[in-house]
Chain A
Amino acid sequence: MDDEALLDRSRRGDRDAFTPLVHRYQDELYTMALRLTGNPADAADVVQETFTRAFRSLPKLRGATVRAWLFRVAVNCSHDIHRQRSRRPADPLEDTEGRVLDLPDPGLGPEATAIQRERADAIRVALLALPHDFRVAVVLRDVNQLSYEEMAEALSVPVGTVKSRISRARGLLAAALRQSPAIFPRAEEAW
């Protein structure tokens, strides 16, 4: 059943129709929130809060696709939660410097796992260094692969603004990663 049909049934009070929407989008939203906040616990809270708000606000959804709307709510939640938590307890998936320790892929050997972690860590640091609007733009586009039109819906900005933010964000991301040996091995050789 497609999103719109599930939405229609949910609007009529069918709780069972909302659950497939959760299953369909929870990982996608969690990945987005993880890239935006850099913190697994915050990202999980973003997803939980997003679906809570969506569950209660369904009758107000007009004119947007379910996917774009969920991303819009999730971006707002990410911003709220990130702003609220200047201090938070250490998370078991973080080390003492707050870096996210991604769970290793069991199919990789120790060396490949180490490289994967270095790359993930470099990207996390680079993303968190971006101004908020640009971080959101590059994450929605290059992590979640939203179309320009979906992003315009999700962010309530014109498509032209979406394109300019993506362009600027990618430039900033590339500059932030330029000195990272994990992403650009030649940078290490230059030393």
Chain B
Amino acid sequence: MVSGHVESLFSAAYDGELSPDARAAFDRHLGECSTCAAAFAELTTAVDALREQPTARMPHPVRLPEGSPGLEPRFAHRPMRLPRGRAIVAGLTAAGMVAVAGGVTAAVVLTRGAGPTRTYMAAPAVAPGSNAGAGAAIHAPLASPQSASLLPELAPLLGGLTDCSPKALPISKAEALEIPVGFSNHATEDNGVSTGVVATQASSFVPGGTVDIYARLIDDSSHAVSLPCTVLLGPQSSSSSPGDDFTMAVPTPVAGLTVDGQPLLQVTVPATAVAGQTYDILVAPPDAVVILTIQIN
């Protein structure tokens, strides 16, 4: 039984999705209603015209990344466009990481296939357990229990982060992707599973300076937004021979520091940082998708 006009059935009718009875009623209506008949004919002509367009051919061969598929899934991305201040994102491989057990020295090397190597090293030791509080430095808690939720290769170095879990935020994906005004140093990456956004108000900071961080992680499936765990890691060294020390600091929410009512993170640049060094802000495992570099002045 069809009453009134039937535009709402046009698409299903075009796809042959109506039941035999519904289709018969639909066709009867078109026979009696010239308005619907003309409109359905118009829709059919338009969709047919789209469908008849030929398949286009990819104009050049696809270049696959070096290495084997899937070995660098978490950090590895080829940024499509890198605005100033955005890091070349490197993949983390087990083979590329060295942790020196038995002391407070450690180094981590991030590599992407045969590409650039990223090494963090050379920061004076801080007493173990000093990671309490916002922005406190952490030295790799070597051989600490690993959390299954952490990136396996980083877990031994991130024991201080095991209490950090992403905090769900009641905002939309579009709102999360909107970089706050003034956060000119920013990076956004989507690995097809999740999208990470990290931004700071400047690209250079002084030792002991405070860094406000906008960080958001979006699940590509559910579009759920969370405040991710992040780490400040550095200094980055141009040396490719690991073995020295590096510093990690954990940015944390601070009362009253918000954007659109949602929390920002804050971290203090280590006082031991030296002008000319660079540090990286990483969205923490297991969904690390962004690295943002800051320069020390």
Chain A interface residues (CB < 8 Å from chain B): 10-11, 13-15, 17-19, 22, 26-31, 34-35, 40, 43-45, 47-49, 51-60, 69, 72-73, 76-77, 80-81, 84, 105, 119-120, 122-123, 126-127, 138, 142-143, 145, 156, 163, 166-167, 170-171, 173-174, 177-178, 183-184
- Closest CB of chain B to A80's CB: distance in Å? 6
Question: Judging by beta carbons under 8 Å apart, are A183 and B49 in contact?
Answer: yes
Q: A53–B47 Cα gap in the complex (Å)?
A: 32
* B72 lies within 8 A of chain A by Cβ: yes
Q: A91–B190 Cα gap in the complex (Å)?
A: 26
A sample of 9 inter-chain contacts (CB < 8 A) reads: A10-B69, A15-B69, A17-B69, A56-B76, A60-B191, A142-B47, A145-B51, A170-B46, A174-B46
Question: Judging by beta carbons under 8 Å apart, are A26 and B58 in contact?
Answer: yes
Partner of A13, one of B60, B68, B193: B68
Q: A34–B53 Cα gap in the complex (Å)?
A: 12
In the bound complex, residues from chain B placing their C-beta under 8 Å from that of A44 are 58-60
* B261 lies within 8 A of chain A by Cβ: no
> Chain A's interface: helix, strand, loop or mixed, by majority?
helix
Question: Judging by beta carbons under 8 Å apart, are A72 and B192 in contact?
Answer: yes
Partner of B42, one of A22, A30, A76, A184: A184
With both beta carbons as reference points, the residue of chain B lying nearest to A70 in the complex is identified as: B192
- Which residues of B42-81 are within 8 A (CB) of A? 42-43, 45-47, 49-51, 53-60, 62-65, 67-73, 76-78, 80-81
With both beta carbons as reference points, the residue of chain A lying nearest to B72 in the complex is identified as: A56
Known: A18-B64, A60-B193, A119-B49. 17 other contacts (CB 8 A): A13-B71, A14-B68, A15-B69, A22-B62, A26-B62, A29-B58, A30-B56, A54-B192, A55-B69, A55-B70, A56-B65, A56-B73, A60-B192, A73-B192, A76-B220, A80-B190, A105-B54
- Range, interface on chain B: 35 or more
| CB-based A-B contact count at 8 angstroms | 159
Given known A27-B57, A49-B78, A177-B49, contact A57–B221 (CB-CB < 8 A) = no
Question: Judging by beta carbons under 8 Å apart, are A10 and B70 in contact?
Answer: yes
Question: Judging by beta carbons under 8 Å apart, are A56 and B58 in contact?
Answer: no
Chain B interface residues (CB < 8 Å from chain A): 7-8, 10-12, 14-15, 39, 42-43, 45-47, 49-51, 53-60, 62-65, 67-73, 76-78, 80-81, 91, 190-193, 220-223
Question: Judging by beta carbons under 8 Å apart, are B59 and A120 in contact?
Answer: no
- Closest CB of chain B to A42's CB: distance in Å? 11
Q: A3–B283 Cα gap in the complex (Å)?
A: 32
Given known A30-B57, A72-B192, A184-B45, contact A156–B69 (CB-CB < 8 A) = no
With both beta carbons as reference points, the residue of chain A lying nearest to B223 in the complex is identified as: A156
Question: Judging by beta carbons under 8 Å apart, are B55 and A31 in contact?
Answer: yes
Given known A31-B55, A52-B65, contact A57–B50 (CB-CB < 8 A) = no
Q: A160–B291 Cα gap in the complex (Å)?
A: 38
